[in-house]
Structure 1
Amino acid sequence: MSDLSTQKRLAAAVLNCGVNRVRFDPTRLSDIESAISRAEIRELVGEGVIKAAPVKGISRGRARIRTAKRSYGHKKGYGRRKGKAGARNPSKSQWMQRIRGIRGTLREMRDDGTIDRHTYRRLYRRAAGGQFRSRAHLKTHIEMITKGRVE
């Protein structure tokens, strides 16, 4: 077999890929051997005699399996942790999650008429001040208000 390293190099330049990804059609090696210019290489690429092998990727399959297991609590033990609890789940993000839920509940209650807009505004400000631990706590507070036990 003849030396096709020059053709391989030219083909890599034409195909805009690495030399190791260039593939020649073994039945047309004589045509490839006679091609010594970039134009001739381009013609062979157009005919499909010279091709670039597909890029090899990194499989995400193992990562998906690991993420799925972590979603239901596996692979999260003490030996896997590399940060304090406050770094892994910061208090600010906990607060944001809680206040968004509480505010959403308040909005729903105001829109469906469970509470009037004055009560909504008063409870909204109290929620911002951190009076309610959770949506359930807010709901029990509203029930108490409607029964006339609080405030």
Structure 2
Amino acid sequence: MVINLRTKKRLASRVTGAGIHRIYFDPTHLDDIADAITRNDIRSLITANTIKIKPVSGTSRGRAQHKRRQKAKRGSKAGSKQGRMGARVGKKQVYVKKVRALRYLLAVFKDRKDITNPEFWALYKKVGGNTVRNKAHLHLLVDEIKAKRS
């Protein structure tokens, strides 16, 4: 005789907080499970290991990692790259990275009292307007400001 235990499975799921598909009934004790009516009955069966909760099975990353390793091997060396540099890293990304680095450096100069607040903002606007080429250029501009002061 086949016993329908779907409601028991749902009840066990509610009691444990696990999904229905993670609930496992021990096939040797199906009669005990069929007799369980209340949530307390279900809890006692869980402690007796008649009802078990399967572990969460996540998505396996093995294939994805293998694919990434294979892709890394192909066409990443200097002779294999095609297209201009802007095709690999966009102009905007390059600009944003540069501006962030320069603004950080400006903040360092200001904290060290190398430049005053008005000088900081003058240089800040130059950085934002892409007038400052790189860190070395910013250092040069700060040195010029210091030279003018003294």
Task: Tell whether the 8 Å contact from 1:103 to 1:124 is kept in structure 2 after alignment.
Answer: yes
Paired position in structure 2 for 1:107: 107
Task: Tell whether the 8 Å contact from 1:11 to 1:22 is kept in structure 2 after alignment.
Answer: no
Paired position in structure 2 for 1:39: 37
Shift of 1:136: 2.4
Identity between Structure 1 and Structure 2 (%): 30
Deviations 1:100-135 (A, max 9, x none): 211121122122121233322222221121111222
Deviations 1:4-43 (A, max 9, x none): 4x12x2233223434x5432235534423x52xx725x44
Paired position in structure 2 for 1:138: 138
Q: What is the DSSP-based 3-state SS (H/G/I as helix, E as strand, rest coil) of the residue aligned with 2:37?
A: helix
> Structure 2 CA distance, aligned partners of 1:65 and 1:146?
55
- Taking a change above 3 Å as real, the CA distance of residues 10 and 58 of structure 1, as seen in their structure-2 partners, is same
> Structure 1 CA distance, aligned partners of 2:128 and 2:74?
33
> Do structure 1's residue 10 and structure 2's residue 7 form an aligned pair?
yes
Structure 2 residue identity aligned to 1:133: R
TM-score by length of structure 1 reads 0.62
Please say which of residues 127-136 and 43-52 is displaced more in the overlay. 43-52
Structure 1: gaps spanning 5 or more residues: none
Task: Tell whether the 8 Å contact from 2:114 to 2:146 is kept in structure 1 after alignment.
Answer: no
> Do structure 1's residue 28 and structure 2's residue 25 form an aligned pair?
no
Paired position in structure 2 for 1:93: 93
- Taking a change above 3 Å as real, the CA distance of residues 55 and 110 of structure 1, as seen in their structure-2 partners, is closer
Structure 1 residue identity aligned to 2:9: A
Q: What is the DSSP-based 3-state SS (H/G/I as helix, E as strand, rest coil) of the residue aligned with 1:23?
A: strand
Paired residues in the alignment total 132
Moved over 4 A (4+): 60-67, 84-88
Shift of 1:60: 4.3
- Taking a change above 3 Å as real, the CA distance of residues 76 and 10 of structure 1, as seen in their structure-2 partners, is same
Could you say what the CA RMSD is over the residues aligned between the two structures, in angstroms?
3.7
Structure 2 residue identity aligned to 1:3: V
Structure 2: gaps spanning 5 or more residues: 14-18
Please say which of residues 97-106 and 137-146 is displaced more in the overlay. 137-146
> Structure 2 CA distance, aligned partners of 1:12 and 1:30?
14
Paired position in structure 2 for 1:121: 121
TM-score by length of structure 2 reads 0.62
